[in-house]
Structure 1
Amino acid sequence: MKIYRSYQEVDKELEILKVEKELAYQKFLRELDETKESLEFRNIIGDTPKKAINILKMLSGPIKSAALTYLFRKIF
């Protein structure tokens, strides 16, 4: 238990606690936003569709057609 010798010490301690509380609250809000963002659909599936499209761009002709058919059957 801390013993205060003046009201100034009490006020100073209260101000420090107020700032610490505000910092903790802002950190909580930031982490909440990051959690919400990480749960968005586009972030859950990540770069997988983009990578698949890049691979398909490299393919040509019947190979590309077969790959697209296979991909669509797997998805749908």
Structure 2
Amino acid sequence: MATKVYSSYQEIDRDLEILKLQKEIDTQKLSLSVEKTIDEFTPSGMVQNILGNAGSFLTKSGLLKNVLLPYLINRFLK
């Protein structure tokens, strides 16, 4: 990293304030990440994750539109 040359204490204070705010932001991001990770390892979080992945697979693969939807429509129309 290049050495920065400051011409006043105001510049130093400004950079210190920026670094302090960046540290606070990073701390909050880490805290939220830890909370999300803990939530994903609860039983309800695991079920939601599995259902979300299954739903994503069904919609991306076209299985829902091409197979399941016509089947369900035919079932209800009978």
- What TM-score does the superposition give when structure 2 sets the normalisation length? 0.56
CA distance in 1, matches of 2:30, 2:44: 23
Higher-RCO chain (CA-CA 8 Å, sequence separation at least 6): 1
Taking the aligned partners of 1:29 and 1:40, their CA distance within structure 2 comes to 17
Tell me the C-alpha RMSD between the 2 structures.
Answer: 1.6
Gaps of 5+ in 1: 49-76
Aligned to 1:2: 4
Larger Rg: 1
State the 1:44 CA deviation: 1.8
TM alignment of 1:1-76, pairs within 5 A: 1-46=3-48
Per-residue deviation at 1:41?
1.5
Q: After the TM superposition, list the runs of 4 or more consecutive aligned residues in structure 1 that deviate by more than 2 angstroms.
A: 45-48
Number of corresponding residues: 48
Shift of 1:45: 3.5
User: When the two structures are superposed, what TM-score results if normalisation uses the length of structure 1?
Assistant: 0.57
CA distance in 1, matches of 2:33, 2:14: 29
Any gaps of 5 or more consecutive residues in structure 2? 52-78
